[in-house]
Structure 1
């Protein structure tokens, strides 16, 4: 979440809470006390996200980095050669790290999903106001403006980081 009046942004925790922790829990359930080798699909163009596991019994391995030496474009090409459809980014409908292009595409091509994101923003703001400072209002759009009224023209400056965040959101 982003806050109005330049008050900053909330924690990036979705990937950790809803992907990493869930997958590690299931892996532990399946493996019991045996050591786990966890293959992580991080490509060469996001090498900074490759980190060792925080758990002693889990060893992270990165086959796209060290064995295959593949970039994201190589992965997309491989998937196309295998007959797979293009994979969408694994972000939630209400992810605050969507670009203007992603928000606009959702608004125009998936109006029900966009309406869900707007409704989520309103519910989150109402819940926030009951527990926190009412002057620091959370918003899904990085501008700190309401999603249903914000200007979604394309960003003039390209993102140098492709909205990546050390693996804690938008993975």
Structure 2
């Protein structure tokens, strides 16, 4: 959408916002720099980098309140589960809302007058139209130009990116996102040894849950893992799907398909288009 706006195919936006969880793959930060220098700046579109902190550091800090990640749980009775998902709300939606309020001239906790709002573009294509959602606040009106203006599918978006030299656009998600598919885990392992060591270390560190929960006596009554197989990441079957893993996934997801196992869930953690039911209103203090 940024490139379409910069080219004049879509109207020129006033700003682009990148919500940084602090734990993106290096490829994402490198790509963001390229977008800013080659596309945004020449078009006069500022990219605003916003953040609520570093999700990895926060998970391992016993003194820090932590908005939980959707970790895969192996309960003591052997049944699979998943922890509550709050990370999209805390690390993406909250800092975006805060920035929007400041752009409107009404920083929190000021009340925003009726009729004062931004039009916010969300990059959802036609094959994911079911993900298109309204914002939960009146001062942000969601618009989905890839659907309403372009009628573009994901394939159309990929062809366009290739045509302007951005074919290698990486997926923006936390390095250790539990929604990764096997292909994403393999890419980290095979092409970025330092990042692979990082996620393997993190996976071991959260086996009993996040540090804050443990410090306050709320240790998990089971074990937490980054990979769906619910074994340590360094031992997980990321080169193939085992029969046991397939059976467990079918049970907990009512039939997750092979593409999702390999590529990760399509509807990941995009703000206002997330897979789960993150609290995005008063829980994070910026709704009005």
Between 1:46-55 and 1:31-40, the stretch displaced more is 31-40
The aligned residue for residue 68 of structure 1 is 150
Gaps of 5+ in 1: none
User: Structure 1 pair 87/114, CA: closer, same or farther in 2 (3 Å)?
Assistant: same
Question: What do the CA deviations read for 1:120-150 (whole angstroms, capped 9, x no partner)?
Answer: 1122225365533554110000111110111
Report whether the alignment pairs 1:132 with 2:218: yes
TM-score (norm 1): 0.86
TM-score (norm 2): 0.53
CA contact (8 A) 1:76 1:86 kept: no
The aligned residue for residue 94 of structure 1 is 176
Deviation at 1:106, TM superposition (A): 1.0
1:98-113 equivalent positions in 2, closer than 5 A: 98-113=180-195
User: Structure 1 pair 160/142, CA: closer, same or farther in 2 (3 Å)?
Assistant: closer
Question: What do the CA deviations read for 1:89-123 (whole angstroms, capped 9, x no partner)?
Answer: 11111101111111122111111111111111122
Gaps of 5+ in 2: 1-70, 106-111, 247-256, 276-288
RMSD: 2.3
Report whether the alignment pairs 1:84 with 2:187: no
CA contact (8 A) 2:117 2:139 kept: yes
Name the SS of the counterpart of 2:207 in structure 1.
helix
CA contact (8 A) 1:101 1:152 kept: yes
Name the SS of the counterpart of 2:174 in structure 1.
coil
CA contact (8 A) 2:123 2:144 kept: yes
Name the SS of the counterpart of 1:148 in structure 2.
helix
Name the SS of the counterpart of 1:95 in structure 2.
coil
Name the SS of the counterpart of 2:180 in structure 1.
coil
CA contact (8 A) 2:131 2:274 kept: no
Question: What do the CA deviations read for 1:26-77 (whole angstroms, capped 9, x no partner)?
Answer: 1111122431111111111111110111001111011011111111111111
Name the SS of the counterpart of 2:235 in structure 1.
coil
CA contact (8 A) 2:72 2:224 kept: yes
Report whether the alignment pairs 1:143 with 2:226: no
User: Structure 1 pair 82/48, CA: closer, same or farther in 2 (3 Å)?
Assistant: same
Name the SS of the counterpart of 1:37 in structure 2.
strand
CA contact (8 A) 2:229 2:237 kept: no
- Where relative contact order (Cα < 8 A, 6+ residues apart) is larger, the structure is 1
Q: Larger Cα Rg: Structure 1 or Structure 2?
A: 2
Report whether the alignment pairs 1:2 with 2:88: no
